[in-house]
Amino acid sequence: MSGRPWTKEEDRALLDGAGVFSINWFRKKAGPTDTYPTAPNRSRGAIYRRAERILGKGGLTRGTSTLLQASVDTGYAREQILRAQRACNQKWKRLSPRGPYLITFEQLDEMIGWLLQDYWCKTLRLYGCVNCGDSDRPSRGKGLCPRCYFKTRRVSRSFRVPWCRGALINLVQELDETRAEVRVIRDHLERGWGLTEDQIKALKAI
Ligand SMILES: [Zn+2]
């Protein structure tokens, strides 16, 4: 560790830039100074340690979330957050080129605001296809993407399970509702969603 004391300017750079700038930016900011013109650039480790000391827990990543944390905290899937990022035209910083993203709390708030109104299928309040989760192509009906719509219809036919919602509701009403899979299927139908491939197969087996 270099014995060169940290200057006020360097500390201020850490305070202002935490959660926003990359480690390389901090290394430039913490380079040789007028007082110590020949001092080597501070090491990454030295910068992280100093940041922990003056900023407390979190150090340079204070005020940010990784993509994983953001997903856990908000309950939105990674893919949904990435979609919101594209829609909000956000650029996320990383501490190092391959390091995790640092999503600021302001960016996260903006994305949550967008996600709250952005349903893939507005009438059924879905963020993606109920069978595959995809949201790239518009809903074809029953909360299913075009591919899954035709696929589940084909599976229904081959398993001799009704495709029409009314017939399905009648069928499910006669099943034992203490079984968890029956309750899930009933819930799907009540929401107006189509059944997933697995549910159609389960229905055949019940
Ligand atoms: Zn699908």
Do 180 and 201 share a domain, yes or no? Answer: yes
Q: Assess contact for 26 and 67: CB atoms under 8 A.
A: no
Q: Is residue 122 part of a domain?
A: no
Q: Please tell me the distance between residue 148's alpha carbon and the centre of ligand 1 in angstroms.
A: 4
Q: Is residue 124 part of a domain?
A: no
Q: Is residue 174 part of a domain?
A: yes
At residue 1, the pLDDT reads 47
Q: Please tell me the distance between residue 79's alpha carbon and the centre of ligand 1 in angstroms.
A: 14
Among residues 44, 61, 78, the one where a domain terminates is 61
Q: Please tell me the distance between residue 180's alpha carbon and the centre of ligand 1 in angstroms.
A: 23
Do 70 and 56 share a domain, yes or no? Answer: no
The residue segments making up the domain with residue 94 are 64-117
Do 22 and 33 share a domain, yes or no? Answer: yes
At residue 3, the pLDDT reads 72
Tens digit of each residue's pLDDT, the chain (206 residues):
457 888 888 888 888 877 777 777 788 877 776 766 766 678 888 888 888 887 777 787 878 888 988 998 888 889 889 989 999 999 998 877 888 888 988 899 999 898 888 788 888 888 889 999 888 888 999 999 999 999 999 999 999 999 999 999 999 999 988 888 899 999 999 999 999 999 999 998 88
Q: Is residue 127 part of a domain?
A: no
Q: What is the pTM of this model?
A: 0.50
Number of structural domains, the chain? 3
Do 43 and 12 share a domain, yes or no? Answer: yes
